[in-house]
Structure 1
Amino acid sequence: MKHILLFGAGKSATVLIDYLKNIATAKQWQVTIADANLAAVQAKVGNHPGVNAVGIDIEHETDRKALVEKADVVISLLPPSLHYFVALDCLAFGKHLLTASYVDEKIKALATDIKSKNILFLCEMGLDPGIDHMSAMQLVHRIKNEGGQIHSFLSHCGGLVAPESDTNPWHYKISWNPRNIVLAGKAGALFREGAKEITKPYKELFNNCSEVAVEGVGQLAYYPNRDSLGYIPVYALEEAGTFIRTTLRHPDFCKGWDLVVQAGLTDEEKHIDTDSLTISSFLQNAFADQKISLSTALLQEQFDFLGWNDLTFINKGYCSVADALQFVLEKKWALGDGDKDMIVMLHEIGYLLNGKNHVVKSELVVKGEDQLHTAMAKTVGLPLGIAAYLLLEGKITETGLHIPIEEGIYEPVLTALRGFGIRFNETNI
């Protein structure tokens, strides 16, 4: 009997767990879901004969290894810093590993050993990174096979709130790990535009963001995401004068978040005593320290919503400023009952074919069902589950350390995703 092990049952795991439950029923396979919060896992698993819920301290080596040893494929939705523990166990026992996280240097250092074990470590297999890689490479390969020369590549993606659930002046609600929202953009950005390499520091990232129109959604702002340059050789687009990977947000969000950054509210190094500190004092003190004012009606409305005059105590003890901000955001930006989130992805590729310039735009819009079965959980979780299924069925045969840029991986996965309503619409100019 084939056995899939999933580490992590947080916000992004809901739809994946449902998918694995269905696979366990259809194929009579065994599935184990392990998380530090056993009650949360049990609530999501329910009563299923083929799926076991397990509580585990992931850093407890004996318990972790015992689970990995029994599995055929391991999926990790743990925080990125914990993947390495699981990776070492998978390597030791010769098990396949799938994650939605960026490949870090420690995992890269295992590449030779992974290949020698004839197993697959497939990283960046979620939404962004993940579906963005697969859909972009499908376009890139098709254009090149037709003889096109790509000169411009922009790939945009964002987790947003659906218009029908958009009820605050930030036009944003939390559908994934709130820590990642607090720290988004911290590394700054590196990209190529107009044949020039451009570095954009964190404090400039959200200022005067460019915008793009998305069919059925309207205008969205975008800011460059991390190191785009590192993906130029990965995508084999050295000839592209423009290469940018970005994150999408509502234009108003960027205006407000720029002030959050300028006020130092995302600082992980500075610690403060939050016992008996109100949300109001937390926000107003930060703005006063940096001599920042709320200069427009929009900004006043946004920070009133965050708690400019809220006398609720934070009461998280001595913690980082970023921790305190996370407390505020989780309180103010929570998805409510019946709320829906929305995923938007857009690729814009300019190329020369038969002496003429062309632009292909490929758009994806996915809405969640409710505050638990979110579009974010769907688009992060399903690529992992589908890849695990295809791997065990022998329909993905690659071994070694990979991200999903090879046709043998992206074609069957994108085909399967279309069956779940995750499909792109193309226009050509």
Structure 2
Amino acid sequence: MGKNILALGAGLVARPLVHYLLEKTKHKVVCASRTVSKAEDLVRGYARGSAKPLNIEDKASLEALIKDCDIAISLVPYIHHVTVAELCIKHKKHMVTTSYISPAMRALDKAARDAGILILNEIGLDPGIDHMSAMRIIDHVKKHGGKVTSFRSYCGGLPAPDANDNCMGYKFSWSPRGVLLAGRNNAKYLEDGKVMEIPGPELFKHHWYLNVPGYWTFEAYPNRDSLPYREQYGLQDVRTMFRGTLRNPGWCRFWYKMAQLGWLDDAPRTDLPGKTWAQILRPMVPGKGDLLEDLGKHWDVTPDSDEIKRIKWLGLAGDEKVPSAPNLLDTLCAHLIKKLELKEGERDMVVLFHEFEAEYPKKKEYITSTLVDFGVPKGDSAMSRTVSLPAAIAVRHILAGDFSMAGVHAPVVPEIYNPVLDELEELKIKCVEEYHRR
């Protein structure tokens, strides 16, 4: 007998999840969204799919929807997940999200266990496939009498090479705000037993090149705090623990310089409307001569440098009026989404790369796990597929009673990661593992 699935949110990653659940199961799916037309588009043509309007801040309406479902999938902004979780606990409904487990969510573990429900978080790409593919190798090493001494993990969403046709080496399929703000996060990781701490303003200065064998060379920089993953992955004795982000070369150097000028500032500004880009840039740059020449001197780069080429290409020294926005960051974001838009028919790309060093009583091993997935032209993006399909697969297994645990969890146990990774492989999302003896 079919059950009732509630999908909260109809944004850019929702389509593969909703379609999977309507095509691969016999369950009903209610898609609830503030913009009901988006939800209607997702379920159009499916007899078991329906759409409902929902303001996620309307707790009474949200509760009514949760009360009628068997499982809720929260694809709304992460700030609302705890509210959804509390209602799921109240009505004893399972819940799935693709977001990191926040301290407030973690605090609901006992209540969820007492209610006998599973709240499965971090079941997307990053976090999600990264956890599952890492734990499969870590558990394999332990099972064969070894221990992991070094773990490095890198992930990035980028334009596919055939769509990488601008000097920025990047395109956005949704708001650039989160991507740019990631460059202000503090970072912490373990390198050969030493804790490395990088303050947010210095993050983009702290990068290096990484070659993914069989593919391309990228730029890598640290992704927030890697240290808690020692415990989460059962690697308390590991000497190197690093999680990083991948971008095309030149990204970090450019955005470090842009941040130094103040372009990532989100403090309210009332003086921006009516100004040109050049009028905004001029006060940031010492000197009274040619703006680009002065900028080159300030940045200590030549006129034909990549940084100056990017400023020219973006038009940030030009006479175009800036879009209306409450601060400098959002003004820039509104401009970037137009200049760096992933156009219809273009493909995006997801790259996830793990490196392990393992020791056994009589040998050492270097292990890699590589996932490269491409979007489907005029179809689903690689990012939407890799974020939402792990969650969709997990929902199917939860409703089938395949997962025995209750409480707040991430997918780091074989009971979850094996069936999810196996089915992702059937859907052509495969992590290729290679083992090299040293």
TM-score (norm 1): 0.94
**Alpha-carbon distance in 2 for matches of 1:237, 1:408:** 19
Give the structure 2 partner of residue 243 of structure 1. 241
Distance 2:39 2:318 in 1: 34
Shift of 1:413: 0.5
1:271 partner SS: coil
Q: What's 2:324 paired with? A: 316
Q: What percent identity do the matched residue pairs reach?
A: 35
Contact 2:207 2:222 in 1 (8 A): no
**Residue number in structure 2 paired with 1:295:** 301
Q: Decide whether the 8 Å contact of 1:185 with 1:226 is kept in 2.
A: no
- In structure 2, the partner of 1:145 is 143
The yes-or-no answer on 1:19 pairing with 2:20 is: yes
Contact 1:336 1:371 in 2 (8 A): no
Asked if residue 410 in structure 1 is aligned to residue 411 in structure 2, the reply is no
**What is the CA–CA distance in structure 1 between the aligned matches of 2:88 and 2:16, rounded to whole Å?**
24
CA contact (8 A) 1:287 1:293 kept: no
Match of 2:291 in 1: none
1:379 match: 386
Instruction: Tell me which amino acid in the other structure corresponds to 1:20.
Output: L
Kept in 2, the 8 Å contact 1:68–1:89? The answer is yes
Matched with 1:207 is 205
Structure 2: distance between partners of 1:284 and 1:305: 17
Q: 1:139 to 1:281 in 2, by over 3 A?
A: farther
Offset at residue 255 of structure 1 (A): 1.9
* Distance in 2 between residues matched to 1:56 and 1:308, nearest whole Å: 39
Structure 1 residue 208: Cα displacement: 5.0
- Residue 272 of structure 1 contacts residue 321 of structure 1 at CA under 8 Å; is this kept in 2? no
Moved more, 386-395 or 43-52: 43-52
Which stretches in structure 2 are left out of the alignment for 5+ residues?
288-293
Structure 1 residues 94, 284: closer, same or farther in 2, change over 3 A?
farther
From 198, 218, 221, the equivalent of 1:220 is 218
CA distance in 2, matches of 1:384, 1:113: 22
Q: Tell which deviates more after alignment, 265-274 or 391-400.
A: 265-274
- The answer to whether the Cα contact below 8 Å between 2:8 and 2:31 also exists between their aligned partners in 1 is yes
Listed one character per residue, the Cα deviations across residues 285-328 of structure 1 (whole Å, up to 9, x for unaligned) are 445599743724211121222222444433425x1322222212
| Superimposed CA distance per residue, residues 137-193 of structure 1 (whole angstroms, 9 cap, x where no aligned partner) | 000000111111211100111111100100111111113553321211422101100
Contact residue 14 and residue 372 of structure 1 kept, 8 A: no
- Residues 312/90 of structure 1: CA separation in 2 closer, same or farther (3 Å cut): farther
In the TM superposition, residue 74 of structure 1 has moved relative to its aligned partner by 0.6
1:306 aligns with 2:314: yes
What does the per-residue CA deviation read over 1:376-397, in whole Å, with 9 as the maximum and x for residues that have no partner? 0000000111100111112222
**Partner residue of 1:271 out of 269, 272, 284:** 269
**Structure 2: how far apart are the matches of 1:389 and 1:286?**
54
2:373 equivalent in structure 1: 366
- 2: CA distance between counterparts of 1:200 and 1:392? 43
2:83 to 71, 74, 85: 85
- Greater shift after overlay, 280-289 or 60-69? 280-289
Tell me, in whole angstroms, the C-alpha distance in 1 between the residues paired with 2:148 and 2:88.
39
Check 1:208–1:4 CA distance in 2 against 1; reply closer, same or farther (3 A cut): same
Kindly provide the amino acid, as one letter, of the partner of residue 391 in structure 2. Answer: L
- Alpha-carbon deviations, 1:170-221, whole Å to 9, x = none? 1111135533212114221011001011100112211251121113421111
1:388 maps to 2:371 = no
> How far is the alpha carbon of 1:350 from its aligned partner?
0.4
Residue 351, structure 1, aligned to residue 358, structure 2: yes
AA of the residue aligned to 1:71? C
Answer yes or no: is the 8 Å Cα contact 2:359–2:365 preserved in 1. yes
Distance 1:37 1:233, change over 3 A: same
Counterpart Cα distance in 2 of 1:350 and 1:271: 49
* Separation (CA, whole Å) in 2 of partners of 1:280 and 1:122: 48
CA contact (8 A) 2:208 2:221 kept: yes
Whichever residue aligns with residue 308 of structure 2, its letter is Q
Q: CA deviation at 1:56?
A: 1.2
Aligned residues of 1:71 and 1:95 also touching (Cα < 8 A): yes
User: What secondary structure is seen at the aligned counterpart in 2 of 1:21?
Assistant: helix
CA contact (8 A) 2:323 2:334 kept: no
CA distance in 1, matches of 2:276, 2:33: 33
Task: Find the aligned partners of 1:212 and 1:35 in 2 and give their Cα distance.
Answer: 40
In structure 2, how many angstroms separate the alpha carbons of the residues matched to 1:191 and 1:253?
Answer: 21
User: 2:9 corresponds to which residue?
Assistant: 8
Query: SS of the counterpart of 2:370?
Result: strand
Give CA deviations for 1:203-260 in whole Å, capped at 9, x if unaligned: 2211251121113421111111111001111111111110001111112212212222
Between the aligned partners of 2:417 and 2:346, the Cα distance in structure 1 is: 31
User: Aligned residue for 1:335?
Assistant: 342
TM (norm. structure 2) is: 0.92
Separation of aligned partners in 2, 1:428 and 1:150: 13
Note the residue ranges of structure 1 that are not aligned, 5 or more in a row.
none
Shift of 1:371: 5.9
**In structure 2, do the counterparts of structure 1 residues 314 and 64 end up closer, same or farther at CA, with 3 Å as the change threshold?**
farther
Deviations 1:26-58 (A, max 9, x none): 41x210111111122222332322111122110
Residues 86, 310 of structure 1: alpha-carbon distance in 2 compared, 3 angstrom cutoff: farther
Instruction: Determine the C-alpha separation between the residues in 1 that align with 2:9 and 2:84.
Output: 12
CA distance 1:262–1:39, shift in 2 (3 Å): same
Residue 346 and residue 276 in structure 1: after superposition, are their counterparts in 2 closer, same or farther (change >3 A)? same
For residue 428 of structure 1, report the CA deviation from its aligned partner: 2.3
**2:226 partner letter:** S
User: Paired residue for 2:251?
Assistant: 253
In structure 1, the partner of 2:290 is none
Point out the more displaced range, 211-220 or 228-237: 211-220
Counterpart Cα distance in 1 of 2:145 and 2:174? 40
13-22 vs 105-114, which deviates more? 13-22
Aligned: 1:424 with 2:425 = no
Specify the alignment match of 2:167 in structure 1: 169
SS of residue paired to 2:394: helix
